[in-house]
Amino acid sequence: MGLNCGIVGLPNVGKSTIFSALTSAPAEAANYPFCTIDPNVGIVNVPDKRLKKISEIIVPAKEIPAIVEFVDIAGLVKGASQGEGLGNQFLSHIRQVGMIVHVVRCFDNEDITHVSGQIDPASDIETINIELALADLSTVEKRIEKSAKQLRSPDKDISKNAKTMIPVLEMLKESLGQGIPARALEFTDDQLEGVQELQLITMKKQMFVCNVDENGLGGNTYVDKVREIADADGAETVVICGALEADIAALETDEEKQEFLEEAGLEESGLSKLIHKAYASLGLRTYFTAGTDENRAWTFNDGALAPEAAGVIHTDFQKGFIKAEVYHCDDLFELGSEAAIRKAGKLRQEGKTYVVQDGDIMHFKFNV
């Protein structure tokens, strides 16, 4: 899975405002559709209090957080799968991301036009989902035509694969034609491998962002509807006030931002919640390296073995992996020093079969 999230939604729902606040890199935002055509890409630091706590104990020269990439994709409209509103171009951008972050307008404001003339989150979500399903349907239909020709191939492996895939493709065709996303279907491991080659948009995980005004931070009827739809899809929901987050992002220091949050009665910004949930939904986890030169958070895929995690730092670490010295950051917080961790027997020597845990602090031994 890719390490990035594509921000999608109808025009004028606040996608670019949220993206700008996320990345502190202004995206073009205007009160008319399609002001975003080429996708904006932003690298976002993953807030992690554990890294700060590690640096209080093991004081480094510098501190480097984990990152995740967000892509602001232009607003989709009804008919996008047939090219409406430059839809084909936009849909191609969505195929490249690891997960979809679907921003839904959940506030009333007569000064900001809605592409359909009324605020209706259920209808907005349905419009996007149908267009994504139709785009996938087109992909599946083309593959069915190709597979039908491959049945007559003199290459037995090609014809056998086509024979196996056609029933799966027909199942996808029927479901997508009804607006049912591909991720809602069940596949065997062999079938899943073939389906993944199609790069279907509706196979991607999706999470919903409810963009509210300040009065809606505690929820409203629009948010309730989005949660209902998200729960049925097994998707996460985050409530954000894009305008408020833009104000916070404009502040210069972390102290000013924290003070702003406290005055607004918020423990954590909505964007921070979004980043954490997106990071986790992508199947990403964090381990740390710590020393006087640098404390750093490294991103790895959930379930990765020690050599794979080492390869995140450098391929040579993976190729020449010997072992890893490992302890968990919670042990450091409890005991107060690496020396105390060693004395308590909490420092472990782990080999190639060790499954790295979120929050591990690691030092790799390798030989190339």
Residue in this structure with the two tokens 């993944």, named with its chain if needed: 196
Q: Which backbone phi and psi does 188 adopt, to 5 degrees?
A: -75, 170
First to last CA, the chain: 29
**Annotated binding-site residue numbers:** 12-17
Joined together, the tokens standing for residue 75 give: 């607003």
Binding residues for ATP: 12-17
Locus of tokens 């020093």: 337
The answer to whether 94 and 8 are in contact (CB under 8 A) is yes
What's the CA gap between 163 and 22, in Å, rounded? 46
Cα 158 to Cα 164: distance, rounded to the nearest angstrom? 10
Contacts of residue 3, Cβ cutoff 8 Å, sequence gap at least 6: 68, 69, 98, 282, 284, 299
Token pair belonging to 190: 């062999």
Nearest to 100 by CA among 298, 281, 315, 333: 281
User: Residue 233 in contact with residue 180, Cβ under 8 Å?
Assistant: no
Q: Exposure string (b/e) for 8-47, b if CB count within 10 Å is 16 or more?
A: bbbbbbbbbbbbbbbbeeebebeeebeebeebbebebebb
| CB-based burial label for 276 (10 Å; 0-12, 13-18, 19+) | middle
Cβ–Cβ under 8 Å, residues 210 and 239: yes
Annotate 3-51 with DSSP letters as a single string: SEEEEE-STTSSHHHHHHHHHTSPPP--SSTTS--SPEEEEEE---HHH
